[in-house]
Amino acid sequence: MPRRKNNISIQKNRIKEVVKTSGASQRLVAIWLDVNYTTVSSWNSNVTQPEAENLNKIGELVEIDNRMLYEPQGRVNTGFAEALESELQRLNKIEGISYEVEKFDKKKGGTVKVNNPELVKRLRKFAEAYKKS
CATH number for 19: 1.10.260.40
Over the Cα atoms of the chain, what is R_g?
A: 21
Of 46, 41, 71, 48, the residue nearest 1 (C-alpha): 48
pLDDT computed for residue 123 by the predictor? 96
Domain presence at residue 8: no
| CA–CA gap between residue 1 and residue 21 (Å, rounded) | 25
**pLDDT at residue 1 in the model:** 46
Tally of structural domains, the chain? 2
Q: Provide the pLDDT for residue 7.
A: 46
Pick left, alpha or beta for residue 96 (phi over 0 → left; psi -120 to 50 → alpha; otherwise beta). Answer: left
Q: Is residue 93 included in any domain, yes or no?
A: yes
Quote the pLDDT of residue 133: 86
Strand (E) or helix (H) holding 130: helix 117-132
For residues 101 and 123, membership in a common domain is answered with yes
Give the structural domain span for 46: 15-69
Are 47 and 13 in contact by the 8 Å Cβ rule? The answer is: no
Q: What is the mean pLDDT of residues 17-42?
A: 94
| CA gap 88, 85 in Å, rounded | 5
- Measured CA to CA, the distance from residue 95 to residue 100 in angstroms comes to 14
Q: Residue 102: inside a domain, yes or no?
A: yes
**3-class SS of residue 73:** coil
CA torsion 111-123-67-60 (nearest 10°) is 0
**Per-residue pLDDT reduced to its tens digit, 101-130:** 999 999 989 999 999 999 999 999 999 999
Residue at 74 is within a domain: no
